[in-house]
């Protein structure tokens, strides 16, 4: 808010993402409100609340259309309206081609090193282009002035910066890519690589979580587009326009507002232990994610298997609670992962459990943020074993939830968060034996060491919080906007 008041007092802020921050669904004849399981939403929602702009997103809930006004708008959050949500409607066919097809069957596996083959279909690409145009038109409809600040989020909308630039040449356009960017050889698989790169270079700034992904992006540009690259300034000039490429490590609200309604840690623990029917001295490990093949869910179970085989004295003494919210379920790779997980857990519990003891509890349904924070607060260990991840905000949320300075974080070296949370136990999720030993170390860690590590991680997340992330981006945007006004006064 301070940055906006000081640097951008007259600016209009428009944020665009595929996923909406609030989903309205019809359940038993009533409208039910869901906050989706999305790192993007949990990071950006508090920012939008603070800066009171307009958020354009795809309205996908079964009751979304029932709550909007004539212009497809609604003020949110519903209990304390602070900004406008402007919903874009997509047909089944558009949703299939743009979201499930090109974005999640093509770009998602392309950008994550998980050895899942990306699928590129011409018909998906056509829908992707058409839907990007639909979002661009909405941005222009929402723009009250010729020079808004447009914050575009993620791989669903790679063509949007160019499309918006064509209609609003004076806009300051920031594209933030929430997932990794692959090396140029991998990127070259995409049949429409030049179009994607050209689309992104409509931006004033392209942001990634870490420098490594910025470097990969610049390499891709260097290889596939005729442009001028000034590496020392991370600046690319293409078609007469300059785009800066910067790392902005995303984070979370601090202290998270959801903590306000959380009972003390001991009560959270008692509540979860009662729900799961666990004795007091059981160790509780947790994993929280969408059911996604990039998250390394089975890999952490394989590590648990190693732990039980090498340290059988731990059988019966710990339980792994895995929350896996259903995601993109109609795509074959997701359906297959879900089935594999269910089978694995069943077999694992048969081998290592008994009538009164299930070492893995898999909850494959959506949970609200409050319940998730209660789980974080109840746990001894949180395991984030992503095979590849832009940042991973679960790691930061776990740290934020532990105001008692207890609990151990196990974190994949392939998640962007591992560059910041150096006091986590860092693991290679492809090495189940070593990860099993790390779990052993985590469950045996003395309270004093837990406190020292947790304290340092809390310092990192509290100072590098999401307001700093957004503030830095907006400050850079303000600088660019001022400069373009001096060069080309309106
Ligand atoms: C990732 C993407 C986000 C997306 C989230 C949830 O974090 O970077 O853009 O919102 O996954 O995925 P979904 O497909 O449910 O929106």
Cite the DSSP H helix spans in 52-105: 92-94
Give the DSSP letter of residue 17.
Answer: -
Q: Which H/E stretch holds residue 23?
A: strand 23-27
Residue bearing the CA closest to ligand 1, atom 6: 38
Which atom of ligand 1 is found nearest the CA of 104? 14
User: Is the Cβ atom of 299 under 6 angstroms away from ligand 1?
Assistant: no
What is the distance in A from the centroid of ligand 1 to the CA of 81? 24
| CA 69/CA 74 separation, integer angstroms | 6
**How many C-beta atoms lie closer than 10 Å to residue 334's C-beta?**
20
CA 102 to chain centre: 18
Q: Output the CA–CA distances (angstroms, integers) from residue 315 to 276, 312, 355, 362, in the order listed.
A: 17, 5, 14, 18
Q: Are 459 and 193 in contact (CB under 8 A)?
A: no
pLDDT in tens, 22-37: 999 999 999 999 999 8
Convert the pLDDT of each residue in 427-440 to its tens digit: 999 999 999 999 99
209 lines ligand 1 (CB under 6 A): no
Q: How far is the CA of 178 from the centre of ligand 1 (A)?
A: 9
Write out the two tokens for 482: 């001022």
| Dist CA 465 CA 479 (whole Å) | 22
- Dist CA 376 CA 288 (whole Å): 9
Contacts of 306 (CB under 8 A, 6+ apart): 432, 433, 435, 436, 437
Strands (E), 50-156: 54-58, 73-76, 83-88, 149-153
Number of other CB atoms surrounding residue 339 within 10 Å: 10
Which of 36, 38, 207 is the pocket-test mutation for ligand 1 (most atoms within 8 Å of CB)? Answer: 38
Instruction: Give the Cα separation of 337 and 210 in Å (integer).
Output: 28
Residue of minimum CA distance from atom 8 in ligand 1: 178
Q: Among all chains, which residue has been given the structure tokens 């639909």?
A: 134
> Ligand 1 center to residue 16 CA distance, Å?
13
Sign of CA dihedral 297, 303, 309, 311: negative
Residue 396 CA from chain centroid, whole number: 12
Give the residue whose CA is nearest to atom 16 of ligand 1: 19
CA 359 vs. chain centroid, Å, equals: 28
- In this structure, the residue with its CA closest to atom 4 of ligand 1 is 38
What does the pLDDT look like over 150-167, one tens digit per residue? 999 999 999 999 999 999
Phi–psi pair at 170, nearest 5 degrees: -95, 5
- Which of 22, 35, 40, 326 for a ligand 1 pocket mutation test, highest count of atoms within 8 Å of Cβ? 40
Residue 394 is encoded by which pair of tokens? 């679960």
Distance CA 271, CA 489 (A): 61
Instruction: Give the pair of three-digit tokens for residue 138.
Output: 């909405």
Please provide the DSSP assignment of 291-341 as one string: S-TTS-HHHHHHHHHHHHHH-GGGTTTEEEEEEEE--STTSHHHHHHHHHH
CA 66, 69, 74 angle in degrees (round to 5)?
A: 85
pLDDT by residue, tens only, the chain of 490 residues: 777 778 888 889 999 999 999 999 999 999 999 999 898 998 899 889 988 899 999 999 999 999 999 999 999 999 999 999 999 999 999 999 999 999 999 999 999 999 999 999 999 999 999 999 999 999 999 999 999 999 999 999 999 999 999 999 999 999 999 999 999 999 999 999 999 999 999 999 999 999 999 999 999 999 999 999 999 999 999 999 999 999 999 999 999 999 999 999 999 999 999 999 999 999 999 999 999 999 999 999 999 999 999 999 999 999 999 999 999 999 999 999 999 999 999 999 999 999 999 999 999 999 999 999 999 999 999 999 999 999 999 999 999 999 999 999 999 999 999 999 999 999 999 999 999 999 999 999 999 999 999 999 999 999 999 999 999 999 999 999 988 776 655 4
Q: Is 243 in the pocket of ligand 1 (CB under 6 A)?
A: no
CA of 112 to the centre of ligand 1 (A): 13
Q: Would you give the DSSP letter of residue 354? A: B
Closest CA to 157 of 118, 186, 128: 128
Which pLDDT value is given to residue 377?
98
If one residue of 19, 103, 135 were mutated to test the ligand 1 pocket, choosing by the most ligand atoms within 8 A of its CB, it would be 19
Does the beta carbon of 394 sit less than 6 angstroms from any atom of ligand 1?
Answer: no
Q: Are 98 and 127 in contact (CB under 8 A)?
A: yes
Q: Which atom of ligand 1 is nearest to the CA of 179?
A: 8
Write out the E strands in 81-154: 83-88, 149-153
* H-type alpha helices, 353-405: 369-378, 393-401
Contacts of 79 (CB under 8 A, 6+ apart): none
Residue pair 476/7 in contact (Cβ under 8 Å)? The answer is no
Q: Which residue has the CA at smallest separation from atom 15 of ligand 1? A: 327
Per the CB < 8 A criterion, the answer to whether 347 and 305 are in contact is no
Q: What is the mean pLDDT of the chain?
A: 96
What does the alpha-carbon distance between residue 109 and residue 155 come to, in Å, rounded to a whole number? 11
Q: Is the dihedral of CA 415, 419, 425, 431 positive or negative?
A: positive
Helices (H) and strands (E) in the chain, counts: 17, 18
Question: Nearest-CA neighbor of 455 among 394, 384, 402, 416?
Answer: 402
Strand, coil or helix: what is 424?
coil
- Percent over 70 (pLDDT), the chain: 99
**Inter-residue contact 372 to 427 (CB < 8 Å):** no
DSSP-derived pairing of the beta strands 235-238 and 241-247:
antiparallel
| pTM summary value | 0.96
- State the Cα–Cα distance between residues 97 and 113, nearest whole angstrom: 23
CA of 23 to the centre of ligand 1 (A): 14
State the distance from the centre of ligand 1 to the C-alpha of 39, rounded, in angstroms: 7
Let me know: does 149 contact 477? Beta carbons within 8 Å. yes
Q: Is 42 in the pocket of ligand 1 (CB under 6 A)?
A: no
The CB of 60 under 6 Å from ligand 1? The reply is no
Choosing from 16, 107, 178 the residue with most ligand 1 atoms within 8 A of its CB, the one to mutate for a pocket test is: 178
- Confirm if 49 and 83 have CB atoms less than 8 A apart: yes
Distance 104 CA to ligand 1 centre (A): 9
């Amino acid at each position: 808010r301070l940055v906006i008041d000081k640097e951008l007092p007259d600016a209009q802020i428009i944020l665009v993402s595929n996923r909406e921050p609030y989903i309205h669904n019809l359940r038993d004849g009533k409208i039910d409100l869901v906050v989706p399981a999305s790192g993007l939403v949990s990071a950006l929602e508090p920012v939008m609340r603070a800066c009171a702009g307009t958020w354009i997103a795809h309205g996908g809930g079964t009751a979304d259309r029932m709550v909007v006004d004539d212009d497809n708008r609604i003020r949110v959050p519903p209990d304390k309206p602070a900004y406008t949500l402007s919903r874009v409607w997509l047909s089944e066919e558009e949703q299939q081609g743009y979201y499930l097809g090109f974005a999640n069957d093509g770009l998602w596996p392309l950008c994550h090193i998980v050895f899942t083959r990306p699928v590129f279909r011409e018909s998906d690409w056509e829908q992707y282009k058409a839907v990007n145009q639909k979002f661009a038109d909405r941005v222009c409809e929402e723009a009250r002035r010729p020079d808004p600040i447009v914050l575009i989020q993620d791989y669903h909308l790679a063509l949007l910066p160019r499309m918006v630039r064509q209609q609003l040449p004076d806009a300051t356009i920031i594209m933030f890519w929430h997932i990794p960017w692959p090396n140029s050889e991998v990127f070259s698989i995409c049949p429409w690589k030049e179009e994607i790169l050209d689309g992104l270079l409509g931006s004033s700034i392209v942001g990634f979580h870490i420098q490594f992904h910025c470097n990969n992006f610049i390499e891709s540009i260097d290889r596939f587009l005729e442009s001028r690259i000034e590496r020392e300034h991370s600046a690319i000039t293409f078609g007469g326009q300059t785009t800066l490429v910067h790392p902005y490590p995303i984070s979370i609200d601090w202290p998270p507002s959801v903590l306000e309604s959380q009972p003390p840690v001991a009560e959270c623990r008692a509540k979860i232990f009662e729900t799961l029917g666990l004795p007091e001295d059981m160790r509780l490990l947790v994993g929280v994610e969408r059911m996604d093949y990039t998250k390394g869910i089975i890999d952490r179970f394989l590590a648990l298997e190693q732990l039980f085989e090498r340290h059988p004295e731990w059988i019966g003494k710990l339980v792994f609670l895995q929350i896996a919210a259903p995601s993109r379920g109609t795509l074959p790779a997701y359906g297959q992962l879900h089935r594999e997980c269910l089978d694995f857990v069943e077999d694992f519990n048969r081998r290592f459990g008994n009538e009164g003891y299930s070492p893995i509890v898999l909850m494959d349904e959506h949970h609200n943020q409050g319940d998730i924070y209660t789980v974080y607060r109840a746990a001894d260990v949180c395991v984030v074993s992503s095979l590849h991840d832009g940042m991973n905000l679960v790691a930061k949320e776990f740290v934020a939830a532990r105001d008692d300075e207890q609990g151990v974080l196990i974190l994949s070296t392939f998640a962007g968060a591992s560059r910041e949370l150096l006091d986590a136990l860092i693991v290679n999720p492809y090495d189940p034996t070593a990860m099993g030993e790390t779990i052993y170390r985590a469950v045996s860690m003395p309270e004093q060491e837990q406190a020292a590590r947790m304290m340092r991680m809390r310092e990192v997340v509290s100072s590098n919080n999401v307001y700093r992330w957004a503030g830095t981006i907006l400050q850079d945007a303000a600088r660019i906007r001022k400069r373009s006004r001096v060069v080309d006064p309106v």
